[in-house]
Structure 1
């Protein structure tokens, strides 16, 4: 019985240590969510505004053309997917959900006869594809949370270069972005968005047509939009990075809270088993003492 109690106490101590780690991770993630959410709120309006502006101008102006606006860009049949995952673990289903979306998208594109080039942010996505002998074209890892804007700029430059390249061995026809949208602390979901070719703004059939502003371009429409459209790609990538890191913190907080509760459940379980074993040991000792006393009484002997 003594050995059994020692084993239970060992497991209780181990669970208590894990509980402290999980609780600390939960508190760290909780404190980082607010800052990450603030960055999301700061970048989302700009990204949405530039997308709407470019879409409106592209829909209602014929003064310019840009490769990103061409709906039929098929040249090489190569498609790029930018997948955003986590650099660290203990984040629940955050990275697996994004990887699953990327896999479904990739399979769908391959069924259409297209070649898929993977560009990955984060160690989790990189290790997933390396383990399956499917290395990515380029990987950004590790990355720092406070340098997401610089990271987004670097990624946008790399992808813009392959999108505009004239080299058939490098050129990419389409660009898809797979990240995680942060809706609240309790709700995040992986999503797929197509960045290139860009979508255009259209009025719904039978609905009231919106009024779009009139634009004047200096020096000319082609020069202005040539500078503006690449910034659209960068703004969408940076905003998705911000939303993904906020979603990662929220997912990690929930995962660590669940892990803390599970550790406490294990502590309670082994404490109960240890108490049961101790009670059984005490009962056995009492039984042995009473049995010994009865044996002495039956033999007529008395202790001195």
Structure 2
């Protein structure tokens, strides 16, 4: 009985230590969510505005540019997967990787080879464990991405897109990330970054349509050259920020659940330890009473 009590006490102590770690990580994640949400809210309007501007130029300028021209034959497509650097975030990274695998299957059905580009150590470990090669990996900034990180990623994938599949590059660029909806909902999402989808139209614009009112100076090609790098960087940066906010929210929920489960385990082990202690006391009393009865019986016989 004493051995059982020691085992339960050790489990209580170890679970209590884990609970402290879970609670601390929950508080850290909670404190970081507000900053991450503010960054998402600040970057999203700019990303939408520059997307509209680039779409306007592409739609109404009737010009050809490598970054908006659909390839006649698509052989390879870049798939940028944005995962986390650290664990203890529930199924956050796993959901992104599943969505990436689903996208890969769709591309293969079209006869297109997916080329993975990975952000985050979890995604890198996923491909290394399966002995699958990646085109390039970036790690160390999933929780607090900077625009320089997005620009570096953008330059890499755009360079591969410009080269094309004939020269070892890609013909399309897709981004798989987790879209931050609110504190409860974060959903894996896929966007096609390049080539930019252009809505062709010959009809006259409506009176309240602002897109045809753009004027291109000095010309549409120069506007494209100036806007597209900003477009790529801002879209990738917004994806990184949304993924960061989603990661913090997922980690906060996971640590809250782990802390609650630890509390349940502590209560269970405490109850079992008390039962073992009570059983030990009962056994000692029984032995004392049995010994007393034996002595009494021996005295009567004498």
What's the CA shift string for 1:208-257, capped at 9, x where partnerless?
89613411222111111122123211111000000001100000000000
- SS of equivalent to 1:65: coil
- 1:90 and 2:76 aligned: no
Looking at structure 2, the residues matched to 187 and 175 of structure 1 have their Cα atoms a distance apart, in angstroms, of 26
Residue in structure 1 matched with residue 13 of structure 2 by the alignment: 13
Residue in structure 2 matched with residue 275 of structure 1 by the alignment: 274
Looking at structure 2, the residues matched to 122 and 179 of structure 1 have their Cα atoms a distance apart, in angstroms, of 11
The 5 Å alignment of 1:248-263 reads 248-263=247-262
Alpha carbons 2:143, 2:248 under 8 Å: kept: no
Higher deviation after alignment, 23-32 or 159-168 = 159-168
Post-superposition offset of 1:56: 2.9
Give the number of aligned pairs: 296
Looking at structure 1, the residues matched to 179 and 165 of structure 2 have their Cα atoms a distance apart, in angstroms, of 34
- SS of equivalent to 1:143: coil
Looking at structure 1, the residues matched to 165 and 111 of structure 2 have their Cα atoms a distance apart, in angstroms, of 20
Distance 1:262 1:167, change over 3 A: closer
- SS of equivalent to 1:185: coil
Post-superposition offset of 1:196: 1.1
Looking at structure 2, the residues matched to 47 and 260 of structure 1 have their Cα atoms a distance apart, in angstroms, of 37
Alpha carbons 1:164, 1:171 under 8 Å: kept: yes
Distance 1:273 1:202, change over 3 A: farther
The 5 Å alignment of 1:140-289 reads 140-143=138-141, 145-165=143-163, 168-201=166-199, 211-213=209-211, 214-289=213-288
What's the CA shift string for 1:24-72, capped at 9, x where partnerless?
000000000001111101110000111122223322332x2212222x3
- 1:59 and 2:59 aligned: yes
Residue in structure 1 matched with residue 24 of structure 2 by the alignment: 24
Post-superposition offset of 1:111: 1.8
Looking at structure 2, the residues matched to 160 and 87 of structure 1 have their Cα atoms a distance apart, in angstroms, of 24
Alpha carbons 2:85, 2:142 under 8 Å: kept: no
Post-superposition offset of 1:74: 3.7
Alpha carbons 1:84, 1:244 under 8 Å: kept: yes
- 1:3 and 2:3 aligned: yes
Residue in structure 1 matched with residue 48 of structure 2 by the alignment: 48
Looking at structure 1, the residues matched to 154 and 111 of structure 2 have their Cα atoms a distance apart, in angstroms, of 26
Looking at structure 2, the residues matched to 279 and 209 of structure 1 have their Cα atoms a distance apart, in angstroms, of 85
Distance 1:40 1:270, change over 3 A: same
Moved over 3 A (4+): 144-147
- 1:107 and 2:116 aligned: no
Superposition CA RMSD, Å: 1.9
Looking at structure 2, the residues matched to 92 and 240 of structure 1 have their Cα atoms a distance apart, in angstroms, of 20
TM-score under structure 2 length normalisation: 0.93
Looking at structure 2, the residues matched to 75 and 144 of structure 1 have their Cα atoms a distance apart, in angstroms, of 34
Alpha carbons 2:143, 2:247 under 8 Å: kept: no
Residue in structure 1 matched with residue 79 of structure 2 by the alignment: 81
Alpha carbons 1:217, 1:224 under 8 Å: kept: yes
Alpha carbons 1:74, 1:173 under 8 Å: kept: no
Alpha carbons 1:120, 1:136 under 8 Å: kept: yes
Give the alignment partner of residue 136 of structure 1, picking from 115, 120, 134.
134
What's the CA shift string for 1:110-143, capped at 9, x where partnerless?
1211111110000000110111111201000123
